[in-house]
């Protein structure tokens, strides 16, 4: 799931909603063409790590991948 909604991330992490992986896009100030490039690069470079994880992608290119316990992820 790709989202820019921080509340969705809270549902997954704190309330343990089922998911296959969440990518939070913190790219509000990034132009849309650059966003597409960044998301594509994320999947190309880190794709295998994203499944079952909560990932945040920041506008400065930082990536934070947090694996979730089996109880929280599917």
Tens-digit pLDDT string for the chain (74 aa): 899 998 877 777 778 788 889 999 999 999 999 999 999 999 999 999 999 999 999 999 999 999 886 554 44
In a domain, 37, yes or no: yes
d(CA 17, CA 28): 25
In a domain, 72, yes or no: no
User: Residue 33: what pLDDT?
Assistant: 97
- For residue 6, what are the domain limits? 2-67
How many domains does the chain fold into? Answer: 1
Give bridge partners of residue 23 from the DSSP assignment: 2, 55
In a domain, 26, yes or no: yes
- CA 71 → CA 1, 16, 55, distances in Å? 18, 7, 17
Mapped onto helix, strand or coil, the DSSP state of residue 73 is coil
pTM for the model = 0.83
In a domain, 51, yes or no: yes
């Amino acid at each position: 799931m790709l989202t820019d909604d921080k509340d969705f991330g809270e549902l997954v992490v704190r309330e343990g909603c089922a998911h296959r992986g969440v990518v939070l896009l913190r790219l509000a100030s990034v132009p849309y063409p650059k966003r597409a490039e960044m998301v594509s690069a994320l999947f190309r470079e880190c794709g295998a790590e994203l499944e079952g994880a909560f990932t945040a992608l920041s506008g400065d290119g930082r990536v934070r991948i947090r694996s979730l316990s089996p109880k929280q992820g599917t």
